[in-house]
Structure 1
Amino acid sequence: MPARGEWVWSLALPAAFILLWSTGFIGAKLGLPWIEPLTFLSIRMIIAGGLLGLVAVLTRAPWPADGRAIVHTAAAGLLVHAAYLGGVFWAIDRGQAAGVTAIIVALQPLLTATLAGPLLAERVSARQWLGLVLGFAGVSLVILGRLEGGAISIQTLTATLIALVGITLGTLYQKRFCPVTDLRSGGAIQYAASAIVLGSLAVVLEEQRIIWTGELVFALAWLVLVLSVGAIGLLFLLIRHGAASRVASFFYLAPPITVVTAWLLFDEILPPLALVGLAVVVIGVALVQRPSPVQSNRG
C-alpha cells in the first residue's frame, strides 16, 4: 500500500489538476462571444493578481527576497499566462477551431520531454517516450473525431505556436528558477506582470469591446477562481514535486476530458473514435507516470 503522501502526489492532486484544467476551453467558449480575447484575459489577470495579493498579505506569505527572484517569477508567469493563454484565446477568437488549437498545443509534453534533458538534466526513459507518443496519438484521435472545418491561417497558427512554446518553456522555467517561490505571493507577481503585458496589447490591438452578460460574468469568475487560482496553483505544486516531463504528460488528459464535458454540457458530438483516443491517452500517461525500477528502489 502506498503511503498517504505518495497517494496524494501520484493520484489525488494530478486528478484535481486535470479536471480543473480541462474546463479552460469551456470558460473561453462561454466568455469570448461577449468580449475581445486580450481584454478578457487582462481583466482575468487583474482580478486573479489582486485576489492572490490580498491572500498573500492576509496570510503573511513570504515575498521574493530580491530583484532577481522577482524577475524570474514574473518571467515564468509571462510564459505560462500571457504567452500561452494569449495565443490560445486569440487564435480561437479569430476562427480557428478549438480542436485544431488543442492538437497543436498537445505537442507540449513531447516538447517538454525533449528540452527537459538539456535544460534540467532529467532522463526520459524509452518507456516514457513511448507513453508520450501514445498520448499525443490518443489526443489526435479524440480531436480528429470531431473537427468542424476550423479555418487556420498564418496568424492563428503563429499565435498557437507561441502558446505552445510559452507553456512549454514556462513549466521548465518555473521548475528551474522558481523552485521555492511561494505560490501566493509568486502568483500575485505573475498575474500582475501578465496583466501589464496583455493589457498593453489589448489597448493597441483591440477596442476593449465588452457586453456584460450572465455568461461572461460566470466565465470570468470560473476562469479566475478555478483556473487561475486552483489549476495553476496545482500545476506549480506538481512541477515543484515531480519531473517536468512527467508533469507535462498530464496535459494529454485535458482535451479528452474537455470533449466529454462539452458533450455533457453543450450536447456536442462524442464519436466512438474519441472514446478510443481517450483509452490510448490513459495508457500513454500511465506509461509516463509509472516509476522506473531505479526510481522505485530509491523510494
Structure 2
Amino acid sequence: MPLLDRIAPPLFIFIWATGYIAAKLAAPYADPLTFLSWRYAGVVVLMLALALVARAPWPSSRAMLHLALSGLGIQALYLGGVWVAIRQGLPAGTAALIVNLQPVLVAAAAPLIGERVSPRQWGGVALGLAGVVLVIWHKLNLGASYGPPLLLSLMALLAITAGTLYQKRFVPQFDLRTGQVVQFAASLAVTLPMAWWLEPMRIVWNADVIFAMAWSVFVLTAGGISLMFYMLRHGRVTAVSSTMYLVPSVTSVMAWLLFGETLGAQAIAGMGVTLLGVYLVVARK
C-alpha cells in the first residue's frame, strides 16, 4: 500500500478537526459568510497559481459543471450552513451531532453509486454514531428551539452528503489543483452575494483572524480538502465518510489542550466506541 494511502486518513482527521478551532478563533471578529468568501477567494488564487506553474490539466466543460455542482454542496452550502447556524446561537455540539449523521446517510445511499454496505459496516456506522453522541453529549442542548439555525445545520448535512455522492458518481477523477479552482470559484460566486445581502460584511484583521484565514486556506482547504478528494478517488465513499466520526473526538482533545474545555470519562469512552465503529467500516474482511 502506498505511503499516502496509509497516512491520508489520520492526517485528514487531524486537519479537519482543526476547522472548529479556526472557527472559534475567527467568530468574534468576522461575519461567517464574509470570512468564507475571503477563504474561497484565497483558495482560488492559491490553486490557480499552483495549476499554472505545474501546467496542470483542466477538466472538460462537462466535468467542470459536475465539479461546480459538487463543490457547492461540499463547500458553499455545507460550510455556510454550519458557520451561520453556530453564529445564530446553535450550540456547536448540536451542530456537530447533526453533521455527523453524514456517514449514516452516505451508507444508506451507497447502493445508488454501486457500493454495497455489509452488515458489519452497518454495525460500525451505528457504533460510530453512538460514540459521537457520547463524546459531545455534555455539549448538547437539544431541548431548546432554535428554528432557522437547526434547519441550516440540516441543510449543511444534506449538502455535504449529496455533494460527496455526486462527485464520487460523476467526476471521481480530476486534477486536484484545477478541480479546486472550479469548485471554490463556484462557491465564491454563491457565497459572496449572500454575504453582501445578509451581513454587514464585518471582518477585523487582527492576529487571530489572520491566523485562522491562513490556516483555513493553506491547511484546511489545500491540505484537508485535497486529502478528502484523494481518499474518495482511491476508496469507497462509505469508508471515507465514516472517518468523519472521529473528528469530534479529535476536536474535543484539541479544545481541552488549547482552551481548557472539559474532557471527562464519558467523552473518552465515546472516543473508544467511535474508533471501534470506524474500524468495522474500513477494515478489510
1:141 aligns with 2:134: yes
Q: How many residues align?
A: 285
1:100 aligns with 2:59: no
Moved more, 132-141 or 150-159: 150-159
1:247 aligns with 2:245: no
Distance 1:104 1:45 in 2: 24
Q: Which amino acid aligns with 1:114?
A: A
Name 1:183's counterpart in structure 2: 176
Distance 2:28 2:66 in 1: 35
Alignment match of 1:74 (pick from 68, 71, 83): 68
| CA RMSD in angstroms, aligned pairs only | 1.3
- For the Cα contact (< 8 Å) 1:145–1:273, is it kept in 2? no
Alignment match of 2:81 (pick from 76, 84, 87): 87
- 1:105 Cα offset (Å): 0.5
Q: Which amino acid aligns with 1:104?
A: I
Distance 1:211-1:246 versus aligned 2 partners, 3 A rule: same
| 3-state SS of paired residue (2:44) | helix
1:286 aligns with 2:279: yes
Q: Which amino acid aligns with 1:187?
A: Q
Name 1:19's counterpart in structure 2: 14
Alignment match of 1:112 (pick from 106, 109, 117): 106
- For the Cα contact (< 8 Å) 1:73–1:178, is it kept in 2? yes
- For the Cα contact (< 8 Å) 1:96–1:150, is it kept in 2? no
Alignment match of 1:256 (pick from 245, 249, 256): 249
- 1:137 Cα offset (Å): 0.3
Distance 1:267 1:170 in 2: 35
- 1:150 Cα offset (Å): 9.1
Distance 1:71-1:55 versus aligned 2 partners, 3 A rule: same
- 1:146 Cα offset (Å): 3.4
5+ residue gaps, structure 2 = none
- 1:285 Cα offset (Å): 0.3
- 1:286 Cα offset (Å): 0.4
Distance 1:229 1:150 in 2: 38
- 1:195 Cα offset (Å): 0.6
Name 1:296's counterpart in structure 2: none
Distance 2:150 2:141 in 1: 17
Name 1:122's counterpart in structure 2: 115
Alignment match of 1:50 (pick from 35, 45, 51): 45
Moved beyond 6 Å, runs of 4+: none
| 3-state SS of paired residue (2:28) | helix
Q: Share of identical aligned residues, percent?
A: 48
Alignment match of 2:36 (pick from 41, 49, 63): 41
Distance 2:247 2:144 in 1: 23
Distance 1:92 1:152 in 2: 14
Distance 2:123 2:143 in 1: 30
- 1:153 Cα offset (Å): 1.2
Q: Which amino acid aligns with 1:121?
A: G
Distance 1:213-1:90 versus aligned 2 partners, 3 A rule: same
- For the Cα contact (< 8 Å) 2:92–2:139, is it kept in 1? no
1:170 aligns with 2:169: no
Distance 1:97 1:170 in 2: 25
- For the Cα contact (< 8 Å) 2:128–2:274, is it kept in 1? yes
Distance 1:261-1:248 versus aligned 2 partners, 3 A rule: same
Distance 1:164 1:210 in 2: 27
- 1:25 Cα offset (Å): 0.7
TM-score by length of 1: 0.93
Counterparts of residues 154-169 of structure 1 (less than 5 Å): 154-169=147-162
- 1:147 Cα offset (Å): 3.5
- 1:145 Cα offset (Å): 2.8
Q: Which amino acid aligns with 1:239?
A: L
Name 1:59's counterpart in structure 2: 54
